[in-house]
A and B are shown apart, each in its own frame.
Chain A
Amino acid sequence: MHAALVTMATSTTDTQKDQFVEWLARIAASRDRAAFAQLFDHFAPRLKSFLIRKGSTAEQAEDLVQETMIAVWSKAALFASGKGSVSTWIFTIARNLRIDRLRRERSQLYTDLEDFDAPDETAGAEETLGRSQEDNHVSQALAQIPAEQRELLILSFVEDVPQSEIATRLGLPLGTVKSRMRLGYQRLRKLLEQMN
Chain B
Amino acid sequence: MKISHHLDDATILAFAAGTVGEAHGVLAAAHISLCPLCRSRVKSAEQIAGAILADESEASVSDQCRAATLASLDAILQAKPAQPKPKSDLPLALSRILGDVSLRDIKWKTKAPGVAVFDVPLSKGTSTKLKMLRLGHGRTMPEHGHGGDEITLILKGSYHDRFGRFAPGDVADLDHEIEHQPIVDSDEDCICVVAFETKAKYKTLLAKLAQPFVGI
CB of A190, distance to nearest CB on chain B (Å): 13
Tell me, in angstroms, the Cα distance from A60 to B127 when the chains sit together.
Answer: 24
Q: Cβ of A113 and Cβ of B29 under 8 Å apart?
A: yes
Q: Cβ of B43 and Cβ of A84 under 8 Å apart?
A: yes
Set of chain B residues within 8 Å of A109, measured between Cβ atoms: 25-26, 29, 93, 96
Within the complex, which residue of B65, B177, B197 is in contact with A164, where a contact is CB–CB below 8 Å? B197
Answer yes or no: A10 CB below 8 A from chain B CBs.
yes
Q: Cβ of B70 and Cβ of A157 under 8 Å apart?
A: no
Give a binary string over A73-114; 1 marks a CB under 8 Å from any B CB, 0 the rest.
Answer: 111001000011101111110011011001110101111110
State whether A87 and B53 are in contact (beta carbons under 8 Å apart), knowing that A73-B73, A104-B123, A113-B33 are contacts in the complex: yes
Give a binary string over B25-54; 1 marks a CB under 8 Å from any A CB, 0 the rest.
Answer: 110010011001101111111111111111
Set of chain A residues within 8 Å of B76, measured between Cβ atoms: 70, 73-74
Set of chain B residues within 8 Å of A136, measured between Cβ atoms: 51, 54
In chain A, positions 11-57 with a C-beta closer than 8 Å to chain B are 11-12, 31, 33, 36-37, 40-41, 43-50, 52
Answer yes or no: B66 CB below 8 A from chain A CBs.
yes
Set of chain B residues within 8 Å of A163, measured between Cβ atoms: 10, 14, 19, 149
Set of chain B residues within 8 Å of A89, measured between Cβ atoms: 50
Set of chain A residues within 8 Å of B59, measured between Cβ atoms: 45, 48-49, 52, 58, 61
CB of B192, distance to nearest CB on chain A (Å): 19
17 additional contacts (CB under 8 A) given A46-B57, A103-B22, A121-B39: A44-B66, A48-B59, A74-B79, A87-B54, A90-B50, A91-B53, A95-B18, A104-B123, A108-B96, A109-B25, A123-B40, A133-B44, A138-B51, A156-B17, A157-B52, A175-B177, A182-B9
8 CB contacts below 8 A, A to B, read A66-B65, A73-B76, A88-B46, A95-B18, A154-B52, A156-B17, A163-B14, A174-B149
* B positions within 8 Å CB-CB of A: 8-10, 13-14, 16-22, 25-26, 29, 32-33, 36-37, 39-62, 65-66, 68-70, 72-73, 76-80, 82-83, 92-93, 96-97, 122-123, 148-149, 175-177, 197
* A positions within 8 Å CB-CB of B: 10-12, 31, 33, 36-37, 40-41, 43-50, 52, 58, 61-62, 65-66, 69-71, 73-75, 78, 83-85, 87-92, 95-96, 98-99, 102-104, 106, 108-113, 115-118, 121, 123-124, 127-131, 133, 135-136, 138-139, 142, 153-154, 156-164, 174-175, 178, 181-182, 185-186, 188-189
